[in-house]
Structure 1
Amino acid sequence: MATNPVPDHVPPEMVRNFSLFTSPGMLPTPNGDPHAAVACVHAGPPIFYSPFNTRDGRGTWVITRARDQRRVLQDAETFSSHRSIFASALGENWPMIPLELDPPAHSVFRSLLNPLLSPRRVRVLEAAVRERAIALTERIAASGTSCDVMKDFTFPFTVNIFLRFLGLPDHQLDTFVGWANDLLHGDYVKRPAAARTIVAFIDELASVRRKEPADDFMTFVVQAQVEGRRLTDEEVRGIGVLVFVAGLDTVAAAIGFDLAYLARNPKDQEWLRSEPDRIVPAAEELLRAYPTVQMIRVAKKDIDFEGAPIRKGDYVSCATMIANRDPAEFESPNTIWLARPDNRHAAFGYGPHRCLGSHLARREIVIGLEEWLARIPAFRIKEGTAPITCGGHVFGIENLILDWS
């Protein structure tokens, strides 16, 4: 798809040929390391303009320093979250809720949903999360000496937990993962088709739950009230689509990147086996090293930001994978140090829109690593195979074949 021309207000010297979608290491690459590839931006200016840095070919300002990203993400008066990422694939303009709402509406819906994914609620879910991890790792250990980790473990593990939360049947797991893959990593034909399919599914599920309530997330949403009223159909859709999409890809990808790292670093793998209490801080370092999401804001007014003439309507990219490799924030940022102290990483974002599901995601990652390491012997990437990584709005990994023969 053609890139947009550089706006007239952007100085030519601030334009840089960089994209989370098409730069070296971002396109699907065997044995790729897209996180290391993006770290190269720290050798340049702290903020620059990329002519192509969204899926639909729009340019963005790229904020490289973690402290500057925090300023952007905490300033909802200047930088809006409403850009209809999902709806735009349909040629529509409605927000995913609460991700794409600005204050004060954001806080109303955030307060509604926070209890569903609070630390207390996650503790209630933890037994089911661990039970699922144990069942999968036992099956893998009993079935041979290698597996395709994404297909056999990370997706069946994380998506099953999410489906239970949403109240959906597990037998449709592969179908849902396929939709998410087309939406997040597909081309300009697959993406709108997947978006239409997901919207139709969420709308139908909401309709069913209005008639046949159950003890699940969608029933809660269709029965919920904000400011003394029931939610509109569009609001129900906006919440349902966000939770559906967010639960299908990001945590599975995170665990995949973690296991790929441990497969390539047997000393760290053995260290976590011998001292499993180290897995919790190690998971934080792996979240720092391998985050998966780019966040984009839209300037609501003209502002000169760190020397950049950002104008109303400009897109501003705050990529977690860039912030987490900031040498001003982290000592030796490209070195994975599983015992790294004071790890203020940006994997879940900053400010009012900090990831609603971060508590559940953390527990899934830790439990997944604990149960995998408890049952699977010393593993490595299978000879003759190569995991394929990609950049984009959400970073991904597939074809991760691990072997412990």
Structure 2
Amino acid sequence: MSATSDASSDLYGPVEDWADDLDHADPEYNRRAHEIWHDLREGGCPVAHSDRYGGMWAPLTHDYVKEVAYDTEHFTSQGVIVNRGRPIAPPPVGPAPPITSDPPFHQVARRLLLPPFSPKRIEAWDDDVRDLCRSLLDDMGDIEAGASVVDAAVQYAQHIPVNVIARMLGFPTTDDDYFRRCVHELIERVNEPLDDERDDGPRLDLYLDRQIEEHRANPRDDLTTFLLEAEIDGNKLSHEHVRGSMVLLLIAGIDTTWSAIGSSLWHLATHPDDLERLRNEPDLMQFAVEEFLRAYAPVTMARLVKEDHDFHGCPMKADEWVLLPFPAANRDPAFFDDAEEFVIDRAENRHAAFGLGIHRCLGSNLARLELRVAIEEFIARFPAFSLGGETRWSVGQIRGPRELPLRIDAVA
């Protein structure tokens, strides 16, 4: 059952007022997100609200998003994916450390994961990612310029980070369909009715338990073994900590990056002038990648209110959700010049695509590499392309194309 294909399956029904009944899982939200944020800010609503999910707030300006992201006194990171429940894994670890951990444990858990994602370690993946992208393009078969249509999301973008993260963790790359299903279950089905008897979920916990046991029996040079051998104060990480960090790496490293790749290709398909410049001026790529990240940032995180708190006149109650739409912050005209415009050679670009505050994405080096290489290889193979059908956008806190039909207008 897809939350994007059947709006009647939604628990709450369609949104009629985005200011007082916002729902990020309404199928219209991601499709019209930029327009919705603009209209709310212009209408004098810097913080949207909803009674859905047990209460939810959504600051829409850069200053307000930043304020919540840095405020660990009034807001906890124990829950980062808005849904109808509340996290049951107790602090300080949380269900997916370090992103669900609060200070001071957060700093310890985050520091453990920094070495595998250092610039030098990630740079070594360039050739592998490039070979993967070329293989995916080859798999599209014979392409006839002006006639062939490919799905740049399903056939290309969605395979890249899945393959890379699986290889980093030492998981079978043949399980990529399973990982995509996990993303859908955890990220997109948050506003569907809960059914205690529903057993069609992918049970990621059991899958990861099997991987952990297999790695205990057969250690090797990968991230799973790295986590199993890591220590805090001379003690090995708990099973729950290891599994939770693996959940984080899978979910945060897959949907976020494939969404960024897909959105970037969508932009180039709908802005032929930018595609031409990028094709003819390859040195622009360093600026274009950052602008793709700013203008089409995929990630919205969340916090929980620790205790009743007045936030600029908003009476937030304990255990209510606070969405942190970093993509909206990136399009705030009070912070960026020409915020609503894509400026391919934007020189100053202090975007928040990788978050703000203590949970800034530790995988940013990998995401940048995958995004850059994916775009370079796609336009090298297909120097001209345009939309070849209707784009279907995701549902939930990660925004990106789920289906992106592109007509190939030229083949290199």
Question: Shorter-normalised TM-score: what interval?
Answer: 0.7 to 0.9
Structure 1 unaligned spans of 5+: 4-13
Alignment partner of 1:62 is 2:77: no
Structure 2 equivalent of residue 8 of structure 1: none
What is the Cα deviation at residue 184 of structure 1? Answer: 1.9
| 1:235-267: CA deviation from partner (whole Å, max 9, x where unpaired) | 111111111111221111111111111111111
- Counterpart amino acid of 2:122? V
Structure 2 equivalent of residue 11 of structure 1: none
Alignment partner of 1:162 is 2:165: yes
- Counterpart amino acid of 2:130? R
Structure 1 equivalent of residue 152 of structure 2: 149
Q: Distance in 2 between matches of 1:333 and 1:271?
A: 20
What is the Cα deviation at residue 302 of structure 1? Answer: 3.8
Q: 2:187 aligns with which of 184, 195, 200?
A: 184
Q: 2:387 aligns with which of 350, 375, 381?
A: 381
Q: Structure 1 residues 356, 46: CA separation in 2 closer, same or farther (over 3 Å shift)?
A: farther
3-state DSSP of counterpart to 2:29: coil
What is the Cα deviation at residue 399 of structure 1? Answer: 2.2
Alignment partner of 1:246 is 2:248: no
What is the Cα deviation at residue 140 of structure 1? Answer: 3.6
Q: Structure 1 residues 266, 95: CA separation in 2 closer, same or farther (over 3 Å shift)?
A: same
Alignment partner of 1:81 is 2:77: yes
| 1:252-307: CA deviation from partner (whole Å, max 9, x where unpaired) | 11111111111111111111000111122112111111112222112224433223
- Counterpart amino acid of 2:42? A
Q: Distance in 1 between matches of 2:80 and 2:362?
A: 18
Q: Quick check: 135-144 or 263-272, which moved more? A: 135-144
Structure 2 equivalent of residue 48 of structure 1: 47
What is the Cα deviation at residue 387 of structure 1? Answer: 0.9
- Counterpart amino acid of 2:58? V
Structure 2 equivalent of residue 108 of structure 1: 108
| 1:28-51: CA deviation from partner (whole Å, max 9, x where unpaired) | xxxx44333333221134543522
- Counterpart amino acid of 1:158? P
Aligned residues of 2:82 and 2:302 also touching (Cα < 8 A): no
Q: Distance in 1 between matches of 2:348 and 2:97?
A: 31
- Counterpart amino acid of 1:297? R
What is the Cα deviation at residue 141 of structure 1? Answer: 6.9
Q: Distance in 2 between matches of 1:252 and 1:393?
A: 14
Structure 1 equivalent of residue 126 of structure 2: 126
Of all paired residues, the percent bearing the same amino acid is: 32
- Counterpart amino acid of 1:50? H
Q: Distance in 2 between matches of 1:134 and 1:122?
A: 19
**Which residues of 2 match residues 4-403 of structure 1 at below 5 A?**
16-22=20-26, 25-26=28-29, 32-45=31-44, 47-52=46-51, 57-83=53-79, 85=81, 92-93=88-89, 94-140=94-140, 142-144=142-144, 145-186=148-189, 187-188=192-193, 197-382=203-388, 385-403=389-407
Aligned residues of 1:52 and 1:59 also touching (Cα < 8 A): yes
Q: Structure 1 residues 113, 183: CA separation in 2 closer, same or farther (over 3 Å shift)?
A: same
- Counterpart amino acid of 1:130? R
What is the Cα deviation at residue 122 of structure 1? Answer: 0.9
What is the Cα deviation at residue 370 of structure 1? Answer: 0.9
- Counterpart amino acid of 2:407? D
Q: CA RMSD in A?
A: 2.6
What is the Cα deviation at residue 59 of structure 1? Answer: 2.1
Higher helix content, 1 or 2: 1
Aligned residues of 2:82 and 2:321 also touching (Cα < 8 A): no
| 1:359-394: CA deviation from partner (whole Å, max 9, x where unpaired) | 110111011111111111310111xx2111144222
Aligned residues of 1:34 and 1:389 also touching (Cα < 8 A): no
Q: Structure 1 residues 15, 291: CA separation in 2 closer, same or farther (over 3 Å shift)?
A: closer
- Counterpart amino acid of 1:44? G
Aligned residues of 1:19 and 1:52 also touching (Cα < 8 A): no
What is the Cα deviation at residue 223 of structure 1? Answer: 1.6
Q: Distance in 2 between matches of 1:95 and 1:177?
A: 20
Structure 1 equivalent of residue 6 of structure 2: none
Q: Distance in 2 between matches of 1:189 and 1:403?
A: 40
What is the Cα deviation at residue 92 of structure 1? Answer: 4.0
Q: Distance in 2 between matches of 1:162 and 1:188?
A: 31
Q: Structure 1 residues 141, 41: CA separation in 2 closer, same or farther (over 3 Å shift)?
A: farther
Aligned residues of 2:80 and 2:303 also touching (Cα < 8 A): no
Structure 1 equivalent of residue 15 of structure 2: none
Q: Distance in 1 between matches of 2:137 and 2:32?
A: 26
TM-score of the aligned structures, taking structure 1 as reference length:
0.87
Aligned residues of 1:263 and 1:380 also touching (Cα < 8 A): yes
What is the Cα deviation at residue 135 of structure 1? Answer: 2.6
Aligned residues: 385
Aligned residues of 1:253 and 1:395 also touching (Cα < 8 A): yes
What is the Cα deviation at residue 69 of structure 1? Answer: 1.4
What is the Cα deviation at residue 138 of structure 1? Answer: 4.2
TM-score of the aligned structures, taking structure 2 as reference length:
0.86
Aligned residues of 1:79 and 1:297 also touching (Cα < 8 A): yes
